[in-house]
Amino acid sequence: MSAQHKLVDTKSFTSGLWKMNPILYLMIGLCPLLAVSSAVKDALGMGVAVIFVLTGANVTISLIRRVVPSHVRIPVFIVIIATFVTTVDYSLTAFSPQLHKNLGVYLPLMVVNCIILGRAEAFASKNNIINSALDGLGMGLGFTIAIFVISAIRELLGQGTFMGLNVLGRNYTPFIIMLMPPGAFLVMGFLIALKNSIERRGQKNVK
């Protein structure tokens, strides 16, 4: 990894957006993705929460990476992540109880979300603070973009609405399966296929 040597590497930000997108490439953090992507509003709330926790946890872990002995790193990471998640949890209860209710158990479950622990372990514990912050932002944004697209498709087909506004008219018959877990898997599968085909085409052009 070249990121280890450079002080600021833009790749640590951009890789999470497209090439190493946590949902479409690394396929981590799928639990909240499947659970809260049936409505765009909830999905965006989850995305913002992930960006905040991921960036905060990455920065903190990168800051103390030289002090933490490797045999206790996992519990230390979990405590740090849990602190950020609980902060989000309290803030949402206080300022947006409806969103808090909709996210339900998936908000506290972010503590053991593999995007966050995965990035802490794979990136933040080996890289400097700036790159770790960029990685957190990039991965968080990548997650948010993916969950936004998936939830937009699911909400549109499943309810005929976008952000709660009716788009497809009253006569639209909802495609109920889109609101259920299989719908999330289907949409995710098609998006991954799309991403792969775009990348393959790009490679051919290079050749």
Partner 1 sequence: MKKTEIFTGITVMFTVALLSGYLLAQVFKITRVQIEKQKKIEAERLNKEMFPEGVNFVETEQQGLSYISVLDAKKNQIGMIFEISRSGYGGPIVIKVGIDNNLQVKGVRILEHNETPGLGAKITDNKFLNQFIGKTGNELSLRKYHSEGTIDAVTGATISSKAVTEGIVEMIEKVRSLNIASSPYSNILPEEEKNKKMGKSQKGENN
> For residues 150-171, b (16+ Cβ closer than 10 Å) or e, as one string?
bbbbbbbbbbbbbeeeeeeeee
Interface with partner 1, residue 180, by CB under 8 A: no
How many Å apart are CA 101 and CA 96, to the nearest integer?
Answer: 9
Please, is 5 exposed, middle or buried when counting C-beta atoms within 10 Å of its C-beta (0-12, 13-18, 19+)? exposed
Per the CB < 8 A criterion, the answer to whether 24 and 146 are in contact is: yes
Please, what is the minimum distance in Å from the beta carbon of residue 91 to partner 1?
Answer: 6
Cα distance from N-terminal residue to C-terminal residue, the chain = 25
Task: Name residue, tokens 């992540």.
Answer: 81
Q: Cβ 71 to partner 1, closest distance in Å?
A: 6
Q: Which is nearer to partner 1, 101 or 200 (CB)?
A: 101
Q: How far is the CB of 92 from partner 1 (least distance, A)?
A: 9
Cβ 86 to partner 1, closest distance in Å?
Answer: 6
According to CB under 8 A, which residues from 84 to 143 bind partner 1? 86-87, 90-91, 93-95, 97, 105
In sequence order, the 6+-apart residues with CB closer than 8 A to the CB of 85 are 53, 107, 108, 110, 111
Tokens linked to 187: 């949409």
Tokens representing 132? 């770790």
Q: Per-residue string for binding with partner 1, 12-51, x by CB under 8 A? A: ----------------------------------------
Question: For residues 7 and 72, which CB has a smaller minimum distance to partner 1 in the complex?
Answer: 72
Restricted to residues 48-87, the positions that interact with partner 1 (CB under 8 A) are: 64, 67-69, 71-72, 75-76, 79-80, 82-83, 86-87
Residues that bind partner 1 (CB under 8 A): 64, 67-69, 71-72, 75-76, 79-80, 82-83, 86-87, 90-91, 93-95, 97, 105
